[in-house]
Structure 1
């Protein structure tokens, strides 16, 4: 799957017969032998992989801020994600992003959310590992106003308030974290309105508090300097040694055993110290095998016609499922909780090549309270460059039924069939397909696609809705007759 592709992109072979370490409390890691240190290293690599994505996110914010490293503020993206966007893998193009790098090592933070009527938005907060532990916004009917964001590992999550200075409190499980506001937009003109009239009314500012410092200040140097970035397994261990001792597991019951396993692997308060006898490349291959194994271990729910998604209890906020947490970090860091968005994947073990065209047949509109989309990504999880600058099709644009009627102009529960064409930029779509064409990469390259259902209704979970059928076809096939 995508994580396998990324593993190969890093030049590492995934070993099908690699040893797999239990990644839940009650682990049987042997703490007394070199084999135990090797197993502990496998776990530590799985545990630390999300931190690499956090660094990518943090550095991306700095690059967009004229090279200035900033924390506890908000960077508003003024254009939709496109083929140059690199802050996170598999971004959406349905919303404008506003990104924040949060550091509660010394200060608290105050997040101010305005009243926004008639438009979906969600303001998710993440710990440093990518757990979506709190959301405020449309789906949660959160009250407009100020929210106090503070480090509170004993009680992570959102606490609403109807009175007082704050509309609520956001308790972060780790002192380092992030927030990625997403505001729905319909088109370029609508995006301009959101930028000028809505986006800038969301703010994040630090607030001084009288308490001891709980971690080193979050700086560019902390996340980047002196790390062996050209040796991926060593880099992950070094980065984890810097960050993990001050950013403990979200699950308080896991703190003691996770800390002991990390220590066995050479990770404690200070630089990484590789234990004698540990083979890092082999451990990394085993870690990737463990991450990829979730595809066959019951973590996915099948919706039919080849579509499936991570179970609700391991979507967005992963708790003690560290293998799933790493899987999502590689596949789509900063996933939303399933109450906000459902992410169906097609044929999780399938690889698609753009020298083959495909149709996606929808048996009626997916039922959502907000909106839905299908987005194409290249092998690395980024948008596919194309002359139309089209990366996604959704229920709000120019896509049509076979008879030419705009899909956006029919009722939300319309059962009429419609089609998308997934086809390489090497073969531009014929005029009859142009509104429903999603360009895939040139030169036969690998691609993947992902659906997003924002505020999904029960029909998308309970088998009521029939998921789309994907079919390999010839280039520019005839559009099926209206049904």
Structure 2
């Protein structure tokens, strides 16, 4: 009975299952709840990818098998993707490769840094044409799904995607409004179109989605909408998406567990026993709440000077909880070779960063972020979105006219009110009233950053 209570407590099941004294059945309910929670974490990135694709299509912020170029940085009204950057202008495309491959033509880019990472439907980065990988000369690529067996046209390089759905979040470096026109000219030279259109056929409209989802709310972010779905909606969508987006061989064990729990079957209907339904109900409710409380989950991960640093993003293997957590907090995360994202949520005393306090981030001259491309520090509110402020300033970085100290070191100020010293306002990152967090981005990080020889400094609480 003690073991039953312990397991019941861990899942938050309450006393319902034990009310009739059904000890064995209660254990089965608890185990079903645990299996449902694991299934949810496994499936979460795939379902969120499709929901994000349909949400962005509804808002007009993406294109299917074609580019949708952002012409300015996102602001505090942007809610389509969590943790957006304000360092690059996005060139976004969702791929639907069921009918045919898509041709991507990249022009010469000169000294302008860019990357065009492509994620499969499970959020693994499977290709990343860009300055780091192909230089500035450009090229022509054929992006093909797992079922395509055609002839590769001459002069093209094949990018084989293991799922029929994919997402490209292209990024071209920008310093903001002062170089928008130059970046826009370059964006317009990138081309993306179905192979048949490249060969001269007229373009036809692409489907808005791979499967039918519950009604979308354009005013709410995809992750918030997903948290409100029923268990039937979630696992039904997951099951239907599997048909065109196969998992990897190492996922077979998890798929068998999901099927054994009655959450995956041939007709995508949840055919479960009464005990399975009860356990799934509680397990689903618990895991959705836990993923919404993502900061608590993050708190279990190791930190470096207080910063959480994902050195293994973009490729997750069987680390399903990490994959779900990254999708929740930063869908579209890059491979570490392209960028790393040290992020900070607490001060040295373990207290959540808050706007009613003042903070200082000090970089010694020889400890500035080592990035071959550039670096930035971005502030997000407790919803992981940009925080409105009078300056419309959401980030600071080496593109900005920062004020360095006499010894070459750099102090960045994070607080709600502007600094008293007018000269320090260039180094001020405005904070909101409530909770917030910081993301330090290093684009094309130097080896010392990837090898953990360089770490971001600990933040200081200013009295």
Give the TM-score normalised by structure 1. 0.76
Q: Distance in 2 between matches of 1:202 and 1:308?
A: 35
Q: Distance in 1 between matches of 2:155 and 2:77?
A: 38
2:164 to 148, 161, 175: 175
State the Cα distance separating 1:79 from its structure 2 match: 0.7
Q: Distance in 1 between matches of 2:169 and 2:455?
A: 32
Aligned to 1:45: 40
Aligned to 1:134: 127
Q: Distance in 2 between matches of 1:342 and 1:141?
A: 20
Alpha carbons of structure 1 residues 117 and 232: separation in structure 2 relative to 1, 3 Å: farther
Contact 2:82 2:330 in 1 (8 A): yes
Contact 1:292 1:327 in 2 (8 A): no
Contact 1:234 1:280 in 2 (8 A): no
Aligned to 2:408: 416
Q: Distance in 2 between matches of 1:462 and 1:42?
A: 34
Aligned to 1:428: 418
Structure 2: stretches of 5+ with no match in the other structure: 1-7, 13-27, 198-205, 217-224
State the Cα distance separating 1:395 from its structure 2 match: 0.7
Contact 1:122 1:183 in 2 (8 A): yes
Aligned to 1:74: 67
Q: 2:266 aligned with 1:257, yes or no?
A: no
Aligned to 2:270: 273
Alpha carbons of structure 1 residues 179 and 466: separation in structure 2 relative to 1, 3 Å: closer
Aligned to 2:357: 356
Q: Distance in 2 between matches of 1:51 and 1:296?
A: 25
How is 1:9-408 mapped onto 2 (pairs within 5 angstroms)?
Answer: 17-18=10-11, 37-65=32-60, 70-141=63-134, 144-152=138-146, 165-195=154-184, 197-208=185-196, 219-220=208-209, 222-225=211-214, 230-231=228-229, 233-249=231-247, 251-254=248-251, 256-264=252-260, 265-273=262-270, 275-276=272-273, 277=275, 278=277, 279-284=279-284, 285-286=286-287, 295=298, 300=302, 302=303, 304-312=304-312, 315-346=313-344, 351-364=352-365, 365-403=368-406
Q: Distance in 1 between matches of 2:132 and 2:415?
A: 35
Aligned to 2:23: none
Kindly report the root-mean-square deviation, in angstroms, between the aligned alpha carbons of the 2 structures: 3.1
Alpha carbons of structure 1 residues 466 and 180: separation in structure 2 relative to 1, 3 Å: closer
State the Cα distance separating 1:272 from its structure 2 match: 3.6
What per-residue deviation string (whole Å, max 9, x for no partner) do you get for residues 54-83 of structure 1? Answer: 2453234323439xx952111111111211
Alpha carbons of structure 1 residues 420 and 98: separation in structure 2 relative to 1, 3 Å: same
Contact 1:360 1:469 in 2 (8 A): yes
Contact 1:372 1:451 in 2 (8 A): yes
Alpha carbons of structure 1 residues 183 and 318: separation in structure 2 relative to 1, 3 Å: same
Q: Distance in 1 between matches of 2:364 and 2:148?
A: 46
Q: Distance in 1 between matches of 2:96 and 2:455?
A: 44
Q: Distance in 1 between matches of 2:384 and 2:231?
A: 21
Q: Distance in 2 between matches of 1:234 and 1:173?
A: 27
What per-residue deviation string (whole Å, max 9, x for no partner) do you get for residues 90-142 of structure 1? Answer: 01100000111111112211111111111210001011221112100111125
Query: Aligned to 1:371, what secondary structure does the other structure show?
Result: strand
What per-residue deviation string (whole Å, max 9, x for no partner) do you get for residues 177-210 of structure 1? Answer: 1111100012312122111x1001112111259x
Contact 1:111 1:146 in 2 (8 A): yes
- Quick check: 359-368 or 331-340, which moved more? 359-368
Contact 2:311 2:340 in 1 (8 A): no
Count of residues paired in the alignment? 408
Alpha carbons of structure 1 residues 467 and 247: separation in structure 2 relative to 1, 3 Å: same
Q: Distance in 1 between matches of 2:373 and 2:147?
A: 32
Contact 1:46 1:287 in 2 (8 A): no
